[in-house]
DNA sequence: TACTCGTGGTT
DNA sequence: TAACCAAGAGT
């Protein structure tokens, strides 16, 4: 028998689709309006493991600053990292730059039009390649993200734990694909997952796929998808050293391109790579000064909790020891008025705020 | 396959 | 409030 999933879903999508900055409405699509592949790509990279609400302002700022992929390809690396700061998963920003330059240099400024071609570009994996191909180029491919995994494990009561279940999920999605409207189908599934088929307390009563859904019929949708048990987060200890000068400038260094917070600006810190490096005193300070402990930042990363002791020192002009920072990458003093615009990850804004409560406070223009 | 890689919002 | 979660990719 033929699956009725696509017709049911697309009819619902036509009425209930979300309105999003990077999305062309179904009506406009039907009228021939084409999605800009660059805009689709940019939004999809930002949306990886990131909520729509968090992405919106970043997406708007990026598109305004760099309206085309060629312009983004010509951007300074640090300018991109500055605009990405706060969004997390910073390897995405580094891959964003690499991908833009690959498209500009190797593809004449045009994105490949198939999932196969797209997936060869940096930062574009199986999901993103399929999403761009379907939404921007109407390729009929299965677009499987966390929403689709949830919807389809419920539709067919797939109790194989993720990620092992992905093979079966992709097969089920493929057989449900409509002959046209591949992009709308993909986005409709994601909208359904985000608004109806939610992780907890799904709204089965108003779901357009209720009559197609095994778990919905059985009344146990929350039993799916089955996920492996998660591990406990270890605690790591470290220290951050905020050095400031009388004019309010702050010493920043840059982290190596690879690894945690790669390519981002930070104040000098201990490694906090070990489970507990225990460097909570001034032994590990970048240079001798009157370091004073100001407090502790507790920041939860994906796979560990960081407890960062924050030290501050006011460095005066006659402090000769504060001149060489050979152990650090690209050390420089950031002016007080520039600090908010630096490529600082959230954990570093927290740490600097402990030492300098006024550092990121909006200041009145015209004063001082 | 399993681990690394951020952050802020919900429940 | 601790746990869970969000349009995953790279290694």
Enumerate domains of chain A plus CATH numbers.
5-144+171-191 (1.10.340.30), 235-355 (3.90.79.10)
Distance measured from the CA of protein residue A56 to the C1' of nucleotide B8, in angstroms: 14
Nucleotide nearest to A198 (CA to C1'): C5
Q: What is the pLDDT of residue A361?
A: 84
Q: What is the pLDDT of residue A271?
A: 86
Block residue for tokens 């800009």: A36
Q: Closest protein residue to B2 using CA and C1' atoms?
A: A163
**Residue A251 to residue A82: CA distance in whole angstroms:** 17
Distance measured from the CA of protein residue A52 to the C1' of nucleotide C9, in angstroms: 19
Question: Is A44 an annotated catalytic residue?
Answer: yes
Q: Pick the catalytic residue: A4, A44, A78, A305? A: A44
Q: What is the pLDDT of residue A84?
A: 98
Q: What is the pLDDT of residue A285?
A: 87
Strand C closer than 7 A to residue A89 Cβ: yes
Block residue for tokens 């309010």: A248
Distance measured from the CA of protein residue A22 to the C1' of nucleotide C3, in angstroms: 32
Q: How many CB atoms lie within 10 A of CB A219?
A: 9
Nucleotide nearest to A349 (CA to C1'): B7
Q: How many CB atoms lie within 10 A of CB A230?
A: 7
Q: What is the pLDDT of residue A320?
A: 54
Contact call for residues A157 and A219 (beta carbons, < 8 A): no
Q: What is the pLDDT of residue A26?
A: 86
Contact call for residues A26 and A14 (beta carbons, < 8 A): yes
Q: What is the pLDDT of residue A87?
A: 98
Distance measured from the CA of protein residue A220 to the C1' of nucleotide B11, in angstroms: 19
Q: What is the pLDDT of residue A262?
A: 96
Q: How many CB atoms lie within 10 A of CB A38?
A: 23
**pLDDT tens string for chain A (368 positions)?**
457 999 999 999 999 999 999 999 888 888 988 899 999 999 999 999 999 999 999 999 999 999 999 999 999 999 999 999 999 999 999 999 999 999 999 999 999 999 999 999 999 999 999 999 999 999 999 999 999 999 999 999 999 999 999 999 999 999 999 999 999 999 999 999 999 999 999 999 999 999 999 999 999 999 999 999 888 899 999 999 999 999 999 999 999 999 999 999 999 999 886 655 555 566 788 888 999 999 999 999 999 999 999 999 999 865 555 556 666 778 999 999 999 999 999 999 999 999 999 999 876 543 33
Chain C bases closer than 7 angstroms to a protein Cβ = 4-10
């Amino acid at each position: 028998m033929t699956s009725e999933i696509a017709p049911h879903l697309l009819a619902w999508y036509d009425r209930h689709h979300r309105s999003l900055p990077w999305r062309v409405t179904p009506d406009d699509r039907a009228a021939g309006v084409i999605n800009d592949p660059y805009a689709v790509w940019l939004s999809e990279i930002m949306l990886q493991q990131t909520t729509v609400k968090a992405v919106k302002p970043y997406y708007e700022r990026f598109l305004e600053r760099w309206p085309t992929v060629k312009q983004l390809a010509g951007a300074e690396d640090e300018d991109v990292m500055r605009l990405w700061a706060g969004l997390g998963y910073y390897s995405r920003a580094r891959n964003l730059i690499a991908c833009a330059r690959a498209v500009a240099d190797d593809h004449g400024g045009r994105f490949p039009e198939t999932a196969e071609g797209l997936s060869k570009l940096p930062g574009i994996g199986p999901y993103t390649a399929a999403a761009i191909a379907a939404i921007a180029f109407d390729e009929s491919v299965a677009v499987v993200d966390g929403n689709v995994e949830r919807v389809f494990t419920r539709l067919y009561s797939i109790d194989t734990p993720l990620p092992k279940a992905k093979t079966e999920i992709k097969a089920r999605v493929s057989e449900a694909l409509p002959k046209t409207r591949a992009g709308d189908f993909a986005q409709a599934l994601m909208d359904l997952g985000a608004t109806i088929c939610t992780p907890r307390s799904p709204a089965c009563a108003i779901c357009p796929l209720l009559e197609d859904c095994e778990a919905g019929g059985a009344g146990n949708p929350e039993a799916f998808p089955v996920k492996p048990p998660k591990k406990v987060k270890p605690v790591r200890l470290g220290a951050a050293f905020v050095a400031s000068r009388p004019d309010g400038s702050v010493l920043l260094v840059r982290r190596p391109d690879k690894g945690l917070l790669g390519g981002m600006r930070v104040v000098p810190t201990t490694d906090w790579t070990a489970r507990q490096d225990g460097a909570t005193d001034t032994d590990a300070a970048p240079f001798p000064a009157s370091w004073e402990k100001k407090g502790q930042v507790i920041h939860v990363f994906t796979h560990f909790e960081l407890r960062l002791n924050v030290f501050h020192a006011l460095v005066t002009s006659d402090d000769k020891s504060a001149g060489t920072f050979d152990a650090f990458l690209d050390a420089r003093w950031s002016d007080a008025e520039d600090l908010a615009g630096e490529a600082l990850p959230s954990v570093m804004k927290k740490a600097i705020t402990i030492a300098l409560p006024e550092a990121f406070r909006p200041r009145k223009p015209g004063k001082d």
